[in-house]
Structure 1
Amino acid sequence: MSEPASRHARGTFAVTVTPEESGIPQIGRFVLEKVYAGDAEGVGVGIMLSAGDPSIGEAGYVAQEIASVTLQGRRGTFALQQLGTMSGGDQQLTYVITPGSGTGELAGIAGRLDLEILDGEHRYDLVYELPDA
């Protein structure tokens, strides 16, 4: 079996964020629903927890999302683990593929998702490794 090669999948996603009761006043809880287009096509669902005050630019969130996609011809699921912070006018966002989460033809997937938001459009670059079929 050969070593996995790094690949890129690029496209866009639309996201819907629905608030839910968290039971803790200082923590927000949200359901995420995404529709992916481009090199990865399918849907994602997840849970996000947030704290801080985004209206003043000081906040953070964590999330787990399950993406059910066809990725450049291979079908399966994987989890995306997310961490985002904003403070002092700076934003940092990290998306990683949760180790061990790949299923189906995406079993063994590893990598990260780079995100750029331009004019309200979410553009992704999924940098990943996947064992050969």
Structure 2
Amino acid sequence: MGARSSGAFEVTAFEPEETDEEPGATLGRVRITKEFTGGLTGRSTVRMLSVLDGGGGPAAYVAVERFTGELDGRKGSFVLQHAAPGSSGERLAIRVVSGTGAGDLAGITGTFELTVDDEGRHTYTLEYELG
């Protein structure tokens, strides 16, 4: 990747929209809003589908997230795709969806790494190219 940007974000809203509870698993749909600081400055809206296992623990999720704001001084927007296949050590994958960049961020591609520390603070690193 050509450039790297990092910073933090805060979840400012977590709004469950639907829950389907059955024996063995709970399916959920939620809308999440985030505020970003650092290399990304702006806000995003996440649409997430999740699965909790029979014990109520996280099992898997998929999501799409639209970021709008600035990336290293460039104004625009793009969409991230999240996929967490399970809770058994599988790796969370988040990528910029090709073709979703707008404004100064048209043509963006890349990967997004998310970290949550022991106190619940969220940080990110975005490796990207603008083409």
Matches for 1:58-97 after TM superposition, within 5 Å: 58-88=58-88, 90=89, 92-97=91-96
Deviation at 1:17, TM superposition (A): 2.1
Range with greater deviation from structure 2 (106-115 or 26-35): 26-35
Taking a change above 3 Å as real, the CA distance of residues 66 and 91 of structure 1, as seen in their structure-2 partners, is same
Range with greater deviation from structure 2 (70-79 or 24-33): 24-33
- 1:9-64 superposed Cα distances (whole Å, 9 cap, x missing partner): 10000113211125x54420000101000011000002100113285545100000
Residue in structure 2 matched with residue 13 of structure 1 by the alignment: 9
| Separation of aligned partners in 2, 1:57 and 1:29 | 16
| C-alpha RMSD over aligned residues | 1.9
Deviation at 1:91, TM superposition (A): 5.1
Tell me, which stretches of 5 or more residues in structure 1 are unaligned? none
When normalised by structure 1's length, the TM-score is: 0.85
- Whichever residue aligns with residue 92 of structure 2, its letter is L
Tell me, which stretches of 5 or more residues in structure 2 are unaligned? none
Q: Give the number of aligned pairs.
A: 125
When normalised by structure 2's length, the TM-score is: 0.86
- 1:78-108 superposed Cα distances (whole Å, 9 cap, x missing partner): 00000114434x2521110011000000000
Matches for 1:1-133 after TM superposition, within 5 Å: 6-15=2-11, 16-21=13-18, 24-25=20-21, 26-53=26-53, 57-88=57-88, 90=89, 92-118=91-117, 119-131=119-131
Judging by fraction of residues, say which structure has more helix: 1
| Separation of aligned partners in 2, 1:73 and 1:55 | 45
